[in-house]
Structure 1
Amino acid sequence: MNDLARHYSRFRVAERLLLTGHSHQAWPDVAREGQLEAFDDAARDVDAKWAAAFAKAEEVREGFRVFLGEPGAELALGANTHELLVRLLSALDLRSRPRLVTTDGEFHTVRRQLARLAEEGVEVVRVPAEPAGTLAERLAAEADDRTAAVLVSRVLFATARLVPGLGDLAAACARRGTELVVDAYHALGAVPMSVPGEGLAGAWVLGGGYKYLQLGEGNCVLRLPGHARELRPVVTGWFAEFGALADAGRPERVAYAAGGDRFAGATYDPTSHYRAARVFRFFAEQHLTPLRLRDVSLRQTERLARRFDELDLPEDVATRDRDTPRSGYGGFLAVRCRDAAGVCAALAERGVHTDSRGDYLRFGPAPYLSDTQLDEAMAALGDVVSA
């Protein structure tokens, strides 16, 4: 058994083949401590609990800063990336720049919302996500003076391909006065990031902890660039008034706070932040740093890829990209299958938990899984497709 697995006894990770780590990882047992602490604080302090809750929120911000590689990052927190995205979009001047550029490989948060905006007259340009190696360059070519924002993933959610060249894309957007929004959800905890080191200081970065960071629901983040102080989101909650600075020149205007609170919402359930703060502390205690997690992830996905190749399956049944090294991928192995959904269901009947997106069957390992568990999961794939 992987020694780390003992810390996840309530999720029984040593007894189950949980290969959905790219979607929902198990929570360490200490996460329960955070949830109980939230209850105890509320029971003791009642409505005065918010001082403690805001302190937990700041712990969560500190945890995210580690994985963004930016100690001083200004961060807004939200229950999900959609609410953060909507607040950001509401701050853009879509009247004078009624054009958004994105890809056809974005997660449904972006895909659905932009599709609905397109129905209302916003011009939405979708650039093919493949080949990923040239995606940033092709997005830059589409950004013009009418483009309010370019939205792209750091890691493509269906295939796990890293998108290179985002720093160059950020520079191109800055020259046009276009906002760059990077969805880093599939990077945080799987691929080390350095927002300033990657040339993304002027970009907005979305992410969350439901996946690789094991934080559970309700823990998402929007990293703000320095010029965010100039924007006034139309969708704004009353928590954005805390510390708000009135505009002396136009006192009739709605005032906003500085920093991440500028994009704050309203009353929320702080239990998720208690849980997340305790899990971030657990990561520090176990030395689960971004670099270590990347090392573990690469070793595990490389093992899954080798075991898949050893199955020697017909290309028209199941195959994978062998042209790109594993270092060009995020935290899961994507296998293109003739019937990805059917294979996923058949694996579930055998106790192997995976998932599928379109033609892709996704195997997402986690740091608490053993090599034996990975081998068993891939052997089960061989049995299913050969049956």
Structure 2
Amino acid sequence: MSARKDLFSRALGVPDRLHMAAHSHHLWPDVTLDAQVDAWRDAAVLADHKWDKVLGEVYPAAQGLVARELKLPSPETVVFAPNTHSLLAVLLSAVDRSGPVRVLATDGEFHSFRRQAQRWVEAGEIELTLVGSEGPDLAERFLAAAREGGHDLIFASHVFFKTGLVFDRVFELADLARPEGPWVVVDGYHGFRAVSTDLSAVADRIFYLAGGYKYAMAGEGAAFLHAPPGFGPRPVLTGWYAEFGDLEGPPGGVGYVRDAGRFLGATFDPSGLYRFVAAGTMLEREGLTTTAMARHVARLKSVLLARIALGEAGPLKDAVVLNPPGTGPSARFLALRHEKASAWKQALAEKGVVVDVRDDVLRVGLSIYHDEAHVEAFRAACAALEP
């Protein structure tokens, strides 16, 4: 496929900017502006009745997009929230355990999990065991630790946010999952619409957490959780939206809906869902499947890596590529480790080139709005960096 700059004319029209950070803040396609205006117009025109449209049309459309992308048996297993942190907090509150929740995770999880998990440890609410996320034997080490048992919740990323490494065997953890525990939670934020993901065989046993900010191209406010039926029927942290529908619970007690809505909170800004639906519908309409987009990005990554290896991108040749192309799934960004990564990022920013850094790793994210000209412009900018 060719680059689809036409779908991002407004964002690409910003002068003096070369955006090479699609993995971090994906540029918004043009259709999301119309969606944002629609959200405002519905609020103004429909007023109190806007929720009839939000919950009756927009929300189900967003659930359907997720279900089709992930091959879920039912869209009713998908629940949305403003961010993944709130979903994570509600999810942990649903674990039925009198003592600290025993959690197994990796040391490469995103900050929404890392920071909260550290605070839960301090508060005595969880006992946390971490497995190193780097190295070719990650899958074997993590699966072995999980199979040892003794955990209430197992949490791991499909694609690691810093290194871009793909944990392609993460879904094997579904074999361990039980409604009474352990629960398996896969962080799919850097995998959703980046790596083709088919959950049809494991949807009845795993949780899957992701959102619209990255490759779904919708921005903030549209995080989601796939929640398998029978797992966590009564979260302790609960909002009044979780009682809309067919309820179950003890007589006179707090009732919960039977579907994924049991994890809902309270009133939210629906504009993120409008954008999520608009961007997802655009991708489906244009035939921009995850496989097709990943193939386009992989080609550009190969071009860039070849130029780096030849020394044509300045000091980037001295960086270690943490996620080189291989035979398996690949992240939609390059992770380049070097002690001067932060200095390079700053120098590039002064030239109007947008990348980002995580510790000593420079991340370069590509998408369908990039072409060879963008890669060449980035290479030239890097060639001028000081060693």
Same fold (TM over 0.5): yes
What residue identity is the alignment partner of 2:189?
Y
Equivalent residue number for residue 64 of structure 2: 62
Equivalent of 1:107 in 102, 105, 110: 110
2:380 paired with 1:379? yes
| Structure 1 segment 194-273 matched on structure 2, within 5 A | 194-197=198-201, 199=202, 201-228=204-231, 231-247=233-249, 250-273=250-273
Equivalent of 1:183 in 183, 187, 192: 187
Equivalent-residue separation in structure 2 for 1:109 and 1:288 (angstroms): 29
Any idea what the Cα deviations from partners look like across 1:284-326, whole Å, max 9, x if unmatched?
2221112211211222222222222122767994221477617
Equivalent-residue separation in structure 1 for 2:147 and 2:30 (angstroms): 46
Any idea what the Cα deviations from partners look like across 1:166-203, whole Å, max 9, x if unmatched?
23222134499311100000011110100124x45411
What residue identity is the alignment partner of 2:150?
R
> Do the aligned partners of residues 217 and 323 (structure 1) sit closer, same or farther apart at CA in structure 2, a change above 3 Å counting?
closer
| Structure 1 segment 286-301 matched on structure 2, within 5 A | 286-301=286-301
Aligned length in residues? 381
Secondary structure of the 1:152 match is strand
- 1:95 deviation in Å? 2.2
What residue identity is the alignment partner of 2:142?
R
What residue identity is the alignment partner of 1:208?
G
Equivalent residue number for residue 282 of structure 1: 282
Unpaired runs of 5+ residues, structure 1, are none
- 1:85 deviation in Å? 0.6
Equivalent-residue separation in structure 2 for 1:117 and 1:7 (angstroms): 43
| Structure 1 segment 362-377 matched on structure 2, within 5 A | 362-377=363-378
What residue identity is the alignment partner of 1:329?
S
Secondary structure of the 1:109 match is helix
What residue identity is the alignment partner of 1:34?
A
Equivalent-residue separation in structure 2 for 1:309 and 1:39 (angstroms): 49
What residue identity is the alignment partner of 2:331?
G
Equivalent residue number for residue 72 of structure 1: 74
Equivalent-residue separation in structure 1 for 2:155 and 2:369 (angstroms): 33
Equivalent-residue separation in structure 1 for 2:327 and 2:311 (angstroms): 19
Unpaired runs of 5+ residues, structure 2, are none
Residues 139, 170 of structure 2: 8 Å contact kept: no
Equivalent-residue separation in structure 2 for 1:149 and 1:85 (angstroms): 11
Secondary structure of the 2:195 match is coil
CA RMSD of aligned residues (A): 2.3
Equivalent-residue separation in structure 2 for 1:344 and 1:328 (angstroms): 27
| Identity, % of aligned positions | 33
Equivalent of 1:167 in 160, 166, 171: 171
Equivalent-residue separation in structure 1 for 2:118 and 2:322 (angstroms): 29
2:275 paired with 1:309? no
Equivalent-residue separation in structure 1 for 2:109 and 2:142 (angstroms): 15
- 1:147 deviation in Å? 1.2
| Structure 1 segment 3-14 matched on structure 2, within 5 A | 4-12=4-12
What residue identity is the alignment partner of 2:217?
Q
Equivalent-residue separation in structure 1 for 2:14 and 2:334 (angstroms): 21
Q: TM-score, normalised by structure 1?
A: 0.92
Equivalent-residue separation in structure 1 for 2:30 and 2:319 (angstroms): 37
Equivalent residue number for residue 133 of structure 2: 129
Equivalent-residue separation in structure 1 for 2:38 and 2:30 (angstroms): 14
Secondary structure of the 2:247 match is coil
